Amino acid sequence: MAAVSMNGSARAPASDIALEVRGLSHVYEAGDRAVPALQDIDMSVRAGRFIVIVGPSGCGKTSLLMMMAGLRAHSAGTLLCQGRPIPTPDPTRVGVVFQEASLFPWLTTLDNIEFPLSLRGVPAEERRRRAEAMLSLVGLKGFGARYPHELSGGMKQRVSIARGLVQDPPVLLMDEPFAALDEQTRMTMGHELLRIWSTTSKTVVFITHSLTEAVYLADEVYVMSPRPGRIIDHIEITLPRPRTYEMMATDVFGRLRERIWQQIRHAQ
């Protein structure tokens, strides 16, 4: 696991390491109490990898993701994205896909996808062209004029992914994007995501509660402990790509899933 052996003095070129987290800790104030939320997080994510973070509810994994997106500050340690700190959101470096229903209900599907571009004053024609391209990438060609309430849960998350990718950021952060979907849709969406990922070669950091989803999607899985969140395991998923549904029935898949489960269970 070359990715884990990086240290400060031998930093890899930014083109190779997409995200680097060193000794990151976070303490937040609740009333007059200081609550440690994250403790000594170390992660080194090579460009183009699919990283999944799993952990119990409230372990701070969403906070960590928000920090990677520049949406939240951390108390101590270093967080570098493409070799530079990310104190405020930078959509050209990082795209975010949120949990369910984060599309703007007053905008059509295309306008939702164009939203990040329109904030930066990209000309209308180019916006439309790029949004249309994203729409067909996520398999929703022809749905551009629909409003979010006219789409199914899975379709909404496809639009969310398209919106996250429209600025072509090298890193895509995903916060439990399929948690609200039913099991079948969730499996299909996981598969779709892998297809999109393989055609765009993005670095993905994906948060989930589902161990099956974690093993199915990931190159590497980071397991976090309950609060204060620490990395308690880092597992390389050696299953070949492209992943298939049949792999879920194999021993390797079962053993990997079991190892994550044991880590989470014993950390409680």
Partner 1 sequence: MQRGLQTLIRLALLALVLGLWEVLPRIGAVNPMLLPPLSDVATTLWGLLGRANVREAIAVTTLEVITAFAIAVPLGAAAGILLAENEYLGAIFKPMLFYVFSIPKSIFLPLFILAFGIGFGQKVGYAAFTTTFVVMMSATAAVESVRGDYILVARSFGATPAQIIWRIYVPCMMPVLLETLRISMIFNFTGVMIAEMYASRTGIGHLISNWGENFQLPQLFAGIIILSAVAIAFNETVRRLEARVGAWRQ
Which residues lie near partner 1 (CB under 8 A)? 69, 71, 88-91, 96, 98, 101-102, 104-107, 115-116, 118-120, 147-149, 167
- Choose between 4 and 119: whose C-beta lies nearer to partner 1: 119
- Choose between 6 and 96: whose C-beta lies nearer to partner 1: 96
Please state the closest distance from residue 265 (CB atom) to partner 1, in A: 32
- Choose between 118 and 185: whose C-beta lies nearer to partner 1: 118
Please state the closest distance from residue 28 (CB atom) to partner 1, in A: 17
Alpha-helical (H) ranges within the chain are 61-68, 109-119, 124-137, 153-165, 183-200, 211-217, 251-267
Please state the closest distance from residue 118 (CB atom) to partner 1, in A: 8
Please state the closest distance from residue 150 (CB atom) to partner 1, in A: 9
Q: Are 258 and 208 in contact (CB under 8 A)?
A: no
- Choose between 28 and 226: whose C-beta lies nearer to partner 1: 28
b or e along 73-110 (b: 16 or more beta carbons within 10 Å of the residue's beta carbon)? ebeebebbbbeeebeeebbebbbbbbbeebbeeeebbb
CA–CA separation, 169 and 166 (whole Å)? 8
- Choose between 169 and 190: whose C-beta lies nearer to partner 1: 169
Please state the closest distance from residue 12 (CB atom) to partner 1, in A: 26
Q: Are 148 and 109 in contact (CB under 8 A)?
A: yes
Pairing between strand 76-81 and 84-85? antiparallel
Chain mean position to CA 65: 7
Please state the closest distance from residue 100 (CB atom) to partner 1, in A: 9
- Choose between 73 and 119: whose C-beta lies nearer to partner 1: 119
Alpha-helical (H) ranges within 74-231 are 109-119, 124-137, 153-165, 183-200, 211-217
